[in-house]
Amino acid sequence: MEPSTQKLIHTFGALADLGQEIAGTGDFTEMVRTSMHLLLGTLALRRGAVVECSGPGPLRCVAIWGLTDQGLAGFEIDEAEMESFLCGEISESLVRNESSANVFIGRHREKLANEGIELVVPMIVRGEVTGMVLLGGKASGEEFSNDDFETIRAMARHIGVGIHTHRLLEQLAQRAEENRRLYDELRTIYRDTVRAFAAAIDIKDKYTQGHSERVGRYSEIIAREMGWSEQEVEGIQIAGYLHDIGKLIVDRDIINAPYHIDAKNSSELNRHPSAGYEILAPIRHPYADIPLMAKHHHERLDGRGYPDGLTDQQIPMGAKIVALADSFDAMTTDRPYRRRRSFEDVVVDLRENSGKQFDGKVVAAFARAILKEVKGETRERRITKMLGKSYLEGEHVATLLTDLIMDLEGDFPAKAQSSSRR
């Protein structure tokens, strides 16, 4: 085989390796270093470096072999020097070429020669200088041939494209990170606004302070226990905060009536789920179905609820969860005309009304979540905090919950629970 053919095959092999390095998703600096070594190895060069720049300014060393960092320190490039790289021939890149029109080489000739750099090849991508490959002479002492120049130019271009791609990916990652941060901020603002609304709703009702906030938390706990995704859990928490937003349009005296209200006032109060829907529907929420959950939080499985008298399958699962959280909080907090009910009493109510007012699957999930806290299986005691420390105390509490879960899950086998989420 002719020596020149052999060299050609070797060069193509090196180029293929370089392509693979650049396409690889590994460490960027390692990629540049390997690429430079391939170039040095292919032409048997003593030393070399790859430096990068983004616009005029200092040159940053990415890979170096046979040269020192100190030797390369302080190299800068200005606008005119970049320009002269864009229009020069490769022979202009020879440091020894005194007649070279390259202004960068002209300015740094002495320093480059002192470091043993003989060739400065720009890496040009999309009409811009992304950096330079600085090369020492051949180990054999021979001059660079035209073939060598071709090889160097091709390889420098490959490395330049690699650097350019890396920068684009970095910019992309930076923008993605910025977007994520902005999105998180927006989400926090949205949640804070919703909580402020919840507080406004609760202020109107002087007997149920903190009710909306608690319904939001109970709903979140139940949904998580039912295996909902984080996104869905966040959504139902918001729905819990806002479920009574329609009360904002109901007369304060009716909401605060100390005893049971008459039929007229009752129908006025019962407008609040539909009114809540009217308020929430035009708003673009980041979570689905929030207006519907508010609208149907007073529906019952047996069809005796309001506003639409929907039955079991027609009621969205989210509304069923909010309905239970709402009733549970009503039963476990003091009202002007009655004290809160004991936990035994509440469990009796939940058992009796499962399948009539409440969905048994939802009640079972809530009971499981409470039982986990009672048994100390959860790190946080969120339910206990809301109910007060003593409310869930006593041996009988765990037994009551276990019995309730067994009764309800007997009616709703685990398989059916997971297959009918919504």
Q: Which residues here bind Fe ion, judged by CB under 5 A?
A: 244
User: 117 or 238: whose CB is closer to Fe ion?
Assistant: 238
CB of 373 to Fe ion, least distance (A): 25
N-term to C-term CA, the chain: 74
User: 244 or 409: whose CB is closer to Fe ion?
Assistant: 244
CB of 322 to Fe ion, least distance (A): 9
Helical axes 28-43 vs 146-204, angle rounded to 10°: 180
CB of 385 to Fe ion, least distance (A): 23
By 3-state DSSP, what share of the chain in percent is helix, strand and coil, each rounded to 5? 60, 10, 30
The residues, ordered by sequence, that sit 6+ positions from 147 with a Cβ below 8 Å of its Cβ are: 4, 7
CB of 269 to Fe ion, least distance (A): 9
| Angle formed at CA 28 by CA 23 and CA 32, multiple of 5 degrees | 85
Q: Which two tokens stand for residue 106?
A: 């002209």
CB of 244 to Fe ion, least distance (A): 5
Rg (CA), the chain: 37
Q: How far apart are CA 74 and CA 78, in angstroms?
A: 13
The residues, ordered by sequence, that sit 6+ positions from 327 with a Cβ below 8 Å of its Cβ are: 357, 358
Q: Which residue is nearest to Fe ion (CB)?
A: 244
User: 81 or 329: whose CB is closer to Fe ion?
Assistant: 329
Q: How far apart are CA 181 and CA 186, in angstroms?
A: 9
Decide: 21 and 31 in contact? Cβ < 8 Å: yes
CB of 306 to Fe ion, least distance (A): 10
User: 225 or 244: whose CB is closer to Fe ion?
Assistant: 244
User: 39 or 242: whose CB is closer to Fe ion?
Assistant: 242
CB of 207 to Fe ion, least distance (A): 14
User: 234 or 244: whose CB is closer to Fe ion?
Assistant: 244
Of 228, 187, 397, 195, whose CA–CA distance to 320 is shortest?
228
Decide: 300 and 357 in contact? Cβ < 8 Å: yes
Q: How far apart are CA 365 and CA 226, in angstroms?
A: 6
User: 94 or 323: whose CB is closer to Fe ion?
Assistant: 323
CB of 172 to Fe ion, least distance (A): 47
User: 21 or 244: whose CB is closer to Fe ion?
Assistant: 244
